[in-house]
């Protein structure tokens, strides 16, 4: 039975494995030796495929994980005495143990609140205009997460409005695309429409959450920011010697279209879960479920009961909140099981 | 024919792929979802296996590559105003683009010459006693590479002598084990005999060069140095979210014994190549071939001829020097082909 | 007349000059050449005088300014992946352009609210216990400012309560003593009573705000934290070659007792100003004036009128707030002039 | 008698005090309160005076000491993964405890030998062309010291040749002017002739060695490199709150012409000492004495005898070498005493 052999993991899309399309390319890349440090053919093909898919001659780099992708990109977009504007729930602020500050050698993050985990032009402007003295680190970059940390997405109109305020104050625009594919799927938009066409300077596109074992792509649409960036990656311990084991699986995702179908599946599962949970009395959605995450408020006893049954999920967003994340391989069976257990948990206590 | 379909790569053990034993575990780890950030069972098993194999309750961490492994370990062993003593040919000095300085936020490397790529007690002491003023970064760590960058190995006696001088001056001992397995094979010594039993405080053990796609293990025998080290890895972009894709292949290497048989094979191939090349007139060995690398002096015309035939190898050690590195999958056929091509290259010109 | 020739500076105690007692020692130190880098006799005498005055064999270092003093002390008290707990109005958070993050290579500041600019045990504990995962920088230091940024002082009881919570969670205690002398004067307490006797590990004692041209003293009561600290200062550009020009004026402050009388005078002037302003209708005090700063709420038109008359003061704490800071050389005449101008400004508009 | 009351300090120009011209301005600046953080009138006047004196609209910044001046300027001229080419005896390499690496967050210094402490175009080119791979930090800056660490000076022709090779390889040119005034005096050249007219991008001009208590000026002739540099200084703990105590004495040096007459005097004293020592048998000059330092080879017994008599001087340049540095206040009487003592020391042993 599914309930016996499948781990009850909905904590993150990090618990899922390598999808078949990526694995096929990984295995193929393993057939023959190839040159090191990205001089292999897989890496070149993958970079070109990104350029084709984004319809833009961007600079493409591969690094190991998201901490590094975001931190290195931000370091290239400002200096140590600059500041980065981000949402107060941004992953770079809350979950990187000071990674952006470390890689940038001291750049401060200035945080802004905002409904549904989204930065607003007003929030950005408030931080920029608050002070102009030398004791305040000069704002240089806006970093936004697409899809956001609470499972919502920025529309094209919202992105354009942020770009306008960035232009007004000479700020660069960084996109943390930990779930970029889910945003494309959610908005039914092309990668180009959500990035350079709305003025994004650099995108960190996650492969790990999309079906790879590890590996993120950094795409610079503002090519000047990529000057000597390969040296930066090398120095910072992010140049894979056998880089084909990152780039070949990426190519698998891109050529097969799995980058999008994986995201579409995960989003669909989140929708399925949302509907199932909303049908239960006593469950309320915390944020609109627009990508692959579902945030619901649950009574404390229900959370405890679910954890006792082996369900893993995060409860870090406030008291009584639970986050369930769907991945490329999440099944309806698992979600049905979860919904049933939530129902039981809610009834038991009130009974 | 082999000569047609096999790449003529002897530039580095980085050009080889994933060995079967590691791949089997990787595929198995991909069967079921598992917890992220090293909380999976593979990681725990791999760490315990290291402890068993080294016969020591050491602290074990997994990171993505060698730049990070060495730089992070060194950062934990000193502070920014300390210095690290290493050989002038040490990889951390010559090939990391300032990585150790970056991760440590400024620690200087003090370099020493030494025959066959090896530090000597005298060389270390000279650097420590040269100055004692505050303008000279205080020596705190000795870093040595085992096997060395020129394919030689430190004997146990040499290591003990270095430990003695380190004790005298209160220095910590770091071992860059990019080819540690090859050293064990060469010396027919156990991992314990070459590390904590001779006073090594921390070892960076490379899996990438030993048959993995990526991933290195950092072992702290001096456990105090590992305090909060997991935070350091996280902040520095070296915590893999799907860590089982590093730790499971490592476990494959360790449980199968491939970590050693791979190294033994590579060393044997280097011996085979050495003998084949030494039999040719006009070829002289630059260093004793004690591990899996062979350094020979070749006339410039021969180097050019070989490169023209598609052979890839490094020539960075001085003029006229060539480095050939054997890996776990290097074949006798490939080496025979190389030896034959060297012979032709030498004859053509003199003819 | 005073009002004509004296600058109307109440923006900061940074606008005042060198007090006579410090200048006398500076001039004497200039009579004869002396050894560099702190090996002169003035520096030794000043350090010993600090030890005598604090009744403790602490480690003493001199650096150029407050940014450096606080940032270097904090760097010595934690590592890059640790965090520092401070009040949300702490100078290290609001006015150092990322200095603490720069010197520590990435340590995050975790901020807490608190009435009257003061940290509370509850606020500290909330930050420590909020999370315990590796993605959250581990709290290691509590930094408090004495007197605070809003002109209040921590009582000994409050300090002891903070030390208790610090002990509970293994945190080190840093005191930003930009106006430490004013706190001693305000509380009528000895330096010992406000530092090591309440468990302060390190104090940054400002000379600049107390009557020097520049120069701060860092005192480590927890001597282990001072290991190799002189190397840290050197590397970070904070070792004065002609150090006697910092230490001799410090000695002047200490031996003459001016360190305290200067602070007593500044505090008394702040009291005088407080009473004068409070007597005016429409002026309300924002915080208790316990040291040498006075924060009052003024209508926007009054602030504009005062600035138009050449008064310099900060208005950064919220809308309608004005900060006036008194120094060792602030005169009753200047304050009378200010009070009169405030009175006029308030009347003009309402009239 | 002079010999009794004057310290026998010839170790460095750091042992001398504040010259009268600088002191006069310091005292004047102390008469009236003034704005903080460089917004005072002294700082503006001093910066303008530098522009006038260099006949160039350069950017001018004041910092506390030479470690900071050089390290911050170099940080602004490259990134962490770049490298700085300097002479193997350069102060930034030998005597800053890793300061440049710290402020730049990891930039490596690549050192070159060269007669008389001077870089050569050939030496620079050898380092640039040695490698072009990503594992070698990309050379971006050439740093030379004028006058050099061994008391010689670069001629205008030598500087132009270095600028030519810098242009060829797109390198920026940094001048460590710890003894820049002495070089101007030695070459009878204007500041402009030795800086922007020969393509220097940034100069660190030392006031401390020229008669100030502390304080160095950083002049950017390449103004683009100075973008946001004031933020960098602030973050790095190099913004003096009472900046007039650095800038006013500087203005005193500049307006009085003491910057040059001080240097001329020190150089003349070095000439006097050179002639006196060369007249003694057994003394040989190590380098041409072209500025204010004299390097001579002395027998070990003579060095010991001099130190026993209380003479302080450095002996760090090789065995048997002694460095004597003259300052703005070095007297003929003191040098006569030294020469006499050297004579005695040499005779005693051979007798």
* This model's pTM is above 0.90: yes
Structure tokens of D292?
Answer: 């204010």
Confidence of residue A272 (pLDDT cuts 50, 70, 90): very high
Inter-chain residue contact C107 with A99, CB threshold 8 Å: no
Q: Residue C12: its chain D contacts at CB < 8 A?
A: 36, 241
User: Which has the closest alpha carbon to B279: B229, B342, B211?
Assistant: B342
Domains and CATH numbers, chain B: 2-16+259-350 (3.90.1150.10), 20-256 (3.40.640.10)
What is the residue-wise DSSP string for A92-150? HHHSSTTHHHHHHTSPEEEEE--GGG---HHHHHHHHHS--STTSPEEEEEEEESS-TT
Q: Own/partner pairs for C193-196, CB < 8 Å, 24+ apart?
A: C193/C156, C194/C146, C194/C156, C194/C159, C195/C54, C195/C56, C195/C219, C195/C221, C196/C54, C196/C56, C196/C58, C196/C221
Q: Does A130 touch chain D (CB under 8 A)?
A: no
Distance set, CA B263 to CA B8, B188, D261 (Å): 20, 11, 70
Q: Does D138 touch chain A (CB under 8 A)?
A: yes
- Nearest chain C residue to B106 by CA: give it: C235
Please give, rounded to a whole number of angstroms, the shortest distance from the CA of B78 to a CA of chain D.
Answer: 13
C237 closest CB neighbour out of D31, D35, D67: D67
Q: For residue C342, what are the contacts with CB-CB under 8 A and spacing of at least 6?
A: C277, C280, C283, C298, C302, C306
Inter-chain residue contact A97 with C316, CB threshold 8 Å: no
Q: Does C238 touch chain D (CB under 8 A)?
A: yes
Q: Give the mutation candidate from C75, C100, C102 for the A interface (greatest A CB count, under 10 A).
A: C102
> For each of chain D's 351 residues, which pLDDT tens digit applies?
344 456 888 878 889 999 999 999 999 999 999 999 999 999 999 999 999 999 999 999 999 999 999 999 999 999 999 999 999 999 999 999 999 999 999 999 999 999 999 999 999 999 999 999 999 999 999 999 999 999 999 999 999 999 999 999 999 999 999 999 999 999 999 999 999 999 999 999 999 999 999 999 999 999 999 999 999 999 999 999 999 999 999 999 999 999 999 999 999 999 999 999 999 998 999 999 999 999 999 998 999 999 999 999 998 655 678 999 999 999 999 999 999 999 999 998 664
Q: Residue D228: its chain A contacts at CB < 8 A?
A: 79, 81-82, 138
Angle between helices A156-168 and A121-129 (to 10 degrees): 20
Please give, rounded to a whole number of angstroms, the shortest distance from the CA of C213 to a CA of chain D.
Answer: 6
Task: Rounding to the nearest 10 degrees, give the CA dihedral for residues D263, D269, D270, D275.
Answer: 150
D228 closest CB neighbour out of A79, A135, A235: A79
The predicted complex's ipTM stands at: 0.96
Q: Does C272 touch chain A (CB under 8 A)?
A: no
Answer for the pair B74, B133: CB distance below 8 angstroms, yes or no.
no
Cα–Cα distance for residue pair D87/D83, rounded to 1 Å: 13
What is residue A161's predicted lDDT score, i.e. its pLDDT?
Answer: 98
- Nearest chain C residue to D103 by CA: give it: C236
Cα–Cα distance for residue pair D351/B273, rounded to 1 Å: 66
Cα–Cα distance for residue pair D311/D314, rounded to 1 Å: 10
Answer for the pair C348, C304: CB distance below 8 angstroms, yes or no.
no
What is residue B316's predicted lDDT score, i.e. its pLDDT?
Answer: 66
Q: Residue B71: its chain A contacts at CB < 8 A?
A: 237
Q: Residue B37: its chain A contacts at CB < 8 A?
A: 14
How confident is the prediction for chain A on average, in pLDDT? 95
What is residue A252's predicted lDDT score, i.e. its pLDDT?
Answer: 98
Q: Give the mutation candidate from A85, A135, A319 for the C interface (greatest C CB count, under 10 A).
A: A135
Q: String of b and e for B231-246 (b: at least 16 CB within 10 Å)?
A: bbbbbbbbbbbbbbbb
- Sheet containing strand C202-206, edge to edge, reads C59-63, C216-220, C202-206, C172-177, C138-145, C82-87, C108-112
User: Which has the closest alpha carbon to C159: C111, C195, C202?
Assistant: C195
Instruction: Cite the beta strand spans of chain B per DSSP E.
Output: 59-63, 82-87, 108-112, 138-145, 172-177, 202-206, 216-220, 284-285, 293-297, 321-325
What is residue B133's predicted lDDT score, i.e. its pLDDT?
Answer: 94
Q: Is the pLDDT score of C2 beyond 90?
A: no
Structure tokens of C136?
Answer: 């959250």
Q: Does D284 touch chain A (CB under 8 A)?
A: no
Structure tokens of A342?
Answer: 């939530």
Q: Does C134 touch chain A (CB under 8 A)?
A: yes
Inter-chain residue contact A17 with B242, CB threshold 8 Å: yes
What is residue C5's predicted lDDT score, i.e. its pLDDT?
Answer: 54
Residue with tokens 């062309």: D129
pLDDT tens-digit map of B217-270: 999 999 999 999 999 999 999 999 999 999 999 999 999 999 999 999 999 999
pLDDT tens-digit map of D334-349: 999 999 999 999 998 6
Q: Residue B232: its chain C contacts at CB < 8 A?
A: 79-81
Return the number of CB contacts < 8 Å for A and C.
59
User: Which has the closest alpha carbon to B179: B141, B151, B143, B158?
Assistant: B151
Please identify every stretch of chain B with a pLDDT value under 50, giving residue numbers as ranges. Answer: 1-4, 351
- Nearest chain A residue to D108 by CA: give it: A235
Q: Residue C17: its chain D contacts at CB < 8 A?
A: 29-33, 242
Cα–Cα distance for residue pair D342/D348, rounded to 1 Å: 10
What is residue D272's predicted lDDT score, i.e. its pLDDT?
Answer: 98
Q: Residue C105: its chain B contacts at CB < 8 A?
A: 80, 105
Angle between helices B300-308 and B332-350 (to 10 degrees): 130
For B180: left if phi > 0, alpha if psi spans -120 to 50, otherwise beta; the answer is: alpha
Return the number of CB contacts < 8 Å for A and B.
160
Peptide bond into C337 cis (omega under 30): no
The partner residues of C218 in beta bridges, in order of sequence, read: C61, C204
Q: Is the pLDDT score of A316 beyond 90?
A: no
Would strands B108-112 and B82-87 be described as parallel, antiparallel, or unpaired?
Answer: parallel
Inter-chain residue contact D235 with A82, CB threshold 8 Å: no
Answer for the pair D274, D335: CB distance below 8 angstroms, yes or no.
no
Q: Does D37 touch chain A (CB under 8 A)?
A: yes
Q: Is the pLDDT score of A130 beyond 90?
A: yes
B106 closest CB neighbour out of D94, D98, D136: D98
What is residue D5's predicted lDDT score, i.e. its pLDDT?
Answer: 54
Mean pLDDT of C30-47: 95
């Amino acid at each position: 039975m599914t309930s016996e052999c499948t781990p009850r993991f909905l904590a993150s899309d990090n618990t899922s494995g390598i999808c078949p399309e990526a694995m096929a390319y990984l295995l193929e890349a393993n057939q023959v030796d190839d040159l090191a440090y990205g001089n292999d053919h897989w890496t070149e093909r993958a970079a070109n495929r990104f350029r084709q898919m984004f319809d833009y001659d961007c600079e493409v780099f591969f690094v190991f994980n998201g901490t590094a992708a975001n931190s290195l990109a931000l370091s290239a977009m400002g200096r140590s005495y600059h500041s980065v504007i981000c949402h107060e729930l941004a992953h770079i602020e809350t979950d990187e143990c000071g990674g952006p500050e470390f890689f940038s050698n001291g750049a401060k993050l200035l945080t802004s609140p905002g409904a549904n985990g989204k930065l607003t032009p007003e929030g950005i402007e408030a931080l920029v205009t608050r002070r102009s003295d030398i004791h305040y680190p000069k704002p240089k970059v806006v970093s936004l997460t697409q899809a956001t940390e609470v499972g919502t997405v920025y529309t094209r109109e919202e992105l354009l409005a942020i770009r306008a305020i960035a232009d007004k104050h000479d700020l660069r625009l960084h996109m943390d695309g930990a779930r970029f594919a889910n945003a494309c799927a959610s908005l039914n938009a092309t990668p180009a429409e959500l990035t350079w066409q709305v003025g994004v300077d650099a995108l960190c596109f996650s492969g790990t959450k999309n079906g790879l074992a590890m590996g993120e792509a950094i795409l610079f649409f503002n090519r000047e920011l990529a000057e000597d960036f390969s040296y930066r990656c090398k120095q910072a311990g992010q140049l894979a010697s056998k880089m084909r084991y990152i780039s070949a699986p990426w190519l698998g995702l891109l050529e097969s279209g799995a980058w999008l179908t994986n995201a579409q599946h995960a989003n669909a599962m989140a929708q399925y879960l949302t509907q199932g949970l909303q049908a239960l009395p006593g469950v309320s959605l915390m944020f609109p479920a627009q990508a692959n995450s579902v945030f619901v408020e649950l009574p404390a006893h229900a959370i405890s009961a679910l954890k006792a049954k082996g369900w893993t999920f995060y409860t870090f967003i406030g008291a009584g909140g639970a986050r369930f994340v769907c991945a490329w391989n999440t099944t309806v069976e698992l979600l049905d099981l979860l919904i049933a257990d939530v129902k039981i948990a809610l009834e038991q206590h009130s009974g």
